[in-house]
């Protein structure tokens, strides 16, 4: 522990500051997202190759090299997916807009619902992936229903 922070807290803080800084820099440059959308394919290829090398050589490369590969792969895949969205999802889509509007509500409210569903499924002898799928579908349905009921058509919250 260094001061009041542990090393893992410092790592998490550095990652958050890094992501915030990239978002801030992209927001400041009006042409940045357009430039990313032109090279989305290259970003995805470099990201997939970098992450594949990381998985193949896991534990057999020095830590700084492994960390650099993970960082490069993560950022390239992120830029590639942002580029795909900028390139191919530019026309209005009502369903995507609805999900985007509902996403903050879903983020705020998901934890107790996911935990409750998880607890109710814990003793069942189902494969973990089936339980995960049930949790995903049921929580999404509940959250979208409550968004529609409480936020979308209500004047009290939204």
Per-residue exposure over 98-132, b if at least 16 CB sit within 10 Å of its own CB, e if not: eeeebeebbeebeeebbeebeeebeeeeeeeeebe
- Other beta carbons less than 10 A from residue 38's beta carbon: 11
Say what the pLDDT of residue 156 is: 55
Whether 80 and 50 have beta carbons less than 8 Å apart is answered as no
- Other beta carbons less than 10 A from residue 88's beta carbon: 10
Say what the pLDDT of residue 1 is: 47
Whether 58 and 73 have beta carbons less than 8 Å apart is answered as no
Instruction: Give the DSSP H or E segment for 11.
Output: helix 7-28
Say what the pLDDT of residue 120 is: 97
Q: Which residues of the chain have pLDDT under 50?
A: 1-2, 158
pLDDT in tens, 27-50: 888 888 888 888 999 999 999 999
Say what the pLDDT of residue 86 is: 85
CA distance 29 to 26: 5
């Amino acid at each position: 522990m260094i001061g009041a922070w542990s090393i893992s807290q410092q790592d998490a803080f550095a990652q958050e500051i890094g992501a915030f800084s990239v978002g801030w820099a992209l927001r400041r440059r009006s042409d940045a997202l357009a430039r990313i959308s032109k090279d989305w394919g290259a970003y995805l290829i470099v990201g997939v190759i970098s992450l594949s090398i990381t998985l193949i050589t896991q534990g057999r490369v020095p830590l700084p090299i492994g960390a650099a590969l993970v960082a490069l792969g993560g950022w390239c895949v992120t830029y590639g997916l942002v580029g795909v969205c900028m390139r191919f999802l530019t026309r209005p889509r009502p369903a995507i807009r609805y999900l985007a509007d509902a996403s903050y509500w879903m983020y705020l409210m998901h934890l107790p619902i996911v935990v409750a569903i998880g607890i109710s499924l814990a003793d069942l002898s189902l494969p973990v992936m089936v339980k995960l799928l049930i949790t995903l579908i049921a929580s999404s349905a509940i959250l979208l229903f409550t968004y529609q009921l409480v936020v979308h058509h209500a004047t009290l919250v939204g």
